[in-house]
Amino acid sequence: MIRMTMDDGAEIAVYHARPDGERRGGLVLVQEIFGVTDHIREMCDEFAAEGYEVLSPALFDREHPGFESDYSGPQFQRAVQLARELHPFEQSLKDAQTCIDALKGANDSGGPVFITGYCYGGSVAWRMAQISPDLAASSAYYGSLVPTMFKDEAPACAAIAHFGRYDDGIPMEGVEALIAKAHPTAQIFVYEAGHGFNSDRRKDYHEASATQARERTLMLFKACGG
């Protein structure tokens, strides 16, 4: 973990994974509501093994420094409170942009910068694809705001979004409406899985879907200069 100063002057923790071998580009990896957990750090390390320099900001450090939660019990309720009540979503977008800026300037050529995120982070990743001019591509996993609040605007960069058909929190009607938008910069994928299918720590983990989504994510990044 390193410390980075954000646009509002707050200094927050950021997990920094250095690339193995030649640097393909930068990647901002955005957490679930549960914090920068061991699972999120593992995801960062896996992308670093593919050649990406990864930054994953601890978004809730202002409200609850060092917060990490499991998927049930009192910690889960705290995670929901942080995400829905205490921490402004707009601040998460600004923090993501600060990390994008840092990665852009990390080597002489700048290199492409990508973003991915899971659940809460999936919504951040999709929204950043719409509003940031500095991204080469985005891969958003089961973000609940993607087929609702942020469905109408086409991403400004190449973007993919992943959803589970049996996700109780993201009705397929909304996903199908998003698909019907036919945004020219986006592809929407539906998997025979539930919410959180990418995490092997969760009951809805679905290995085949997680593997396919990861392959699609890496293919997208490589197709866009990574």
The answer, yes or no, to whether residue 51 has pLDDT greater than 80, is: yes
Q: pLDDT band for position 9 (50/70/90)? A: very high
Our answer to whether residue 119 is catalytic in this structure is: yes
- Please identify which of the residues 157, 195, 204, 206 carries the catalytic annotation: 195
- 100, 135 contact by CB (below 8 A): yes
Task: Report pLDDT for 109.
Answer: 59
pLDDT digits (tens, 9 = 90+) for 96-145: 999 999 999 876 656 799 999 999 999 999 999 999 999 999 999 999 99
- Please check the confidence at residue 94 and state whether its pLDDT lies above 70: yes
Burial class (CB in 10 A: 0-12, 13-18, 19+), 152: exposed
**For this structure, is 195 an active site residue?**
yes
SS3 of 144-183:
CCCCCCCCCCCCCCEEEEEEECCCCCCCHHHHHHHHHHCC
Q: Helix 120-131 vs helix 89-104: angle between axes, to the nearest 10 degrees? A: 60
Give pTM, 2 decimals. Answer: 0.96
* 16 is known as an active-site residue: no
Catalytic residue among 44, 119, 162, 204: 119
**How much is the average pLDDT of 152-167?**
98
